[in-house]
Chains A and B, each alone.
Chain A
């Protein structure tokens, strides 16, 4: 199973910082981020673009959050 960052219940910029830290730790590969606001989802997709990670999938969850899958070759 892919590594996960659970940033639910946190407001920006915390989810962005946690995602950024995971990117720095893994350097490449694949991981998932769980967030519960549109702002977090948008901000993480901007961070991904800037850091050269691809947003493979952004899936809406039942509790109206998102699971974002990020990948870097």
Chain B
């Protein structure tokens, strides 16, 4: 995209260049559109749960911006000669369930015949133009909250290798199909400064994006990051997706890692996530109260996982222990 001559416009409040979760276009002084789309190949074998996960993932970008989803459209690539129609029906049923849970409406969609099955949504939401939560608003001294445990990439790799236990599959489904709706509503109540959702770039990759966009140095406490049960065990046996190594390599120059840290924790911090949680940056005097409310509202895995340390001209990430 960087090489293409994209036209700027005063109403385009958030465009593609800041690596934000969704685009935002101002319609009036009170109202802006939030637009996003995402689709991918199955990470679990059950079509209904795949539909739920893919839809939750697509809706998440609107929540990460602090918006409210209004409408959604299905994006479907389906191998109609190889798979029965019931599979597609189940995927769409799962997706629709999440669209409705989000309080949004399905307004249509498009499907093409493709060798490889893919599903996702294009989502349109609304937001007040003065209350957009981007990834560049963090302030020095802020605390970072993560709302879901990580490890979906490792567990999906174990599923691919038929090595995943039933309980690990169920944990993955539960984590990845949970909407970030409630977490988003709660963060707005506490006046969060910045937010992003953790997806394909892993916790480390997305936090480095935040650090770069906000020009700060961020510390993540590796021992405080919540993990999906069994993700650690699978990572230790080498069930790490190629993406994890690629992200780590890509981020390397801007990341400092405490050499005493276990390698498995670093692997998991760069594990690409599907429909991961929100990472929320907010003032230290409200962080504990926000965490308490998240937990009371059922977001039990929420943890404070880091701090915004200093200004930094290029943006930098430090992965350390919470007690050095």
Partner-B contacts on A (CB < 8 A): 11-14, 16-17, 20, 37-39, 42-47, 50-51
Contacts and interface: CB of A to CB of B under 8 A. Distances in A.
B242 interface: yes
Interface stretch (B130-138, B157-165, B168-176, B253-261): B157-165
Contact of B163 (A11, A17, A46): A17
Interface of B: 157-158, 160-161, 163, 235-242, 245, 263-264, 267
A57 to B, nearest CB: 18
Nearest to B241: A12
Contacts of A46: 235-238, 240, 263-264, 267
Contacts, number: 49
Q: For the complex of A and B, list the 4 residue pairs with the smallest distance between their C-beta atoms, beginning with the closest.
A: A43-B238, A13-B161, A47-B238, A46-B238
18 contacts: A12-B157, A12-B240, A16-B237, A16-B238, A17-B163, A20-B237, A37-B242, A38-B245, A39-B240, A42-B238, A42-B245, A43-B239, A46-B235, A46-B238, A46-B267, A47-B237, A47-B238, A50-B238
Contacts of B161: 13-14, 16-17
A13 B242 contact: no
Contact of A13 (B160, B236, B263, B267): B160
